[in-house]
């Protein structure tokens, strides 16, 4: 049964790495914000498997709620596409 926990941990970490990589090398800033929110969901799965429910509630409300809204406000007041 401990193998099940470890396999879920492995899948969530690979998903987190994938979303973080796509967020950093993306030219359209709104898509990068979407990938950053996906990375936060993968990280909160990892927090649940590591048995930390307090940190999970704080982290998901902050990262998917507040950071996404704040960054979308910032992008709407500045430019959208990144220059070369």
Shortest gap between Cβ of 7 and another protein (angstroms)?
Answer: 13
Rounded Cα gap, residues 20 and 47, in angstroms: 17
Shortest gap between Cβ of 32 and another protein (angstroms)?
Answer: 6
Binding-site ranges for another protein (CB under 8 A): 1-2, 13-14, 16-18, 20-25, 29, 32-33, 36, 39-40, 43, 46-47, 50-55, 57-59, 61-63, 65-67, 69-71, 73-75, 77-79, 82-83
Quote the distance between the C-alpha of residue 67 and its chain's center. Answer: 10
Residue 49's closest CA among 17, 19, 7? 7
Which single residue is written with the structure tokens 């902050």?
A: 62
């Amino acid at each position: 049964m401990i193998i099940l926990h470890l396999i879920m941990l492995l899948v969530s970490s690979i998903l987190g790495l994938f979303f973080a990589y796509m967020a950093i090398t993306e030219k359209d800033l709104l898509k990068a914000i979407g990938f950053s929110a996906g990375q936060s969901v993968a990280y909160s799965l990892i927090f649940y498997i590591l048995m930390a429910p307090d940190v999970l509630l704080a982290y998901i409300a902050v990262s998917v709620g507040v950071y996404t809204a704040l960054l979308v406000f910032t992008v709407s007041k500045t430019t959208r596409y990144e220059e070369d």
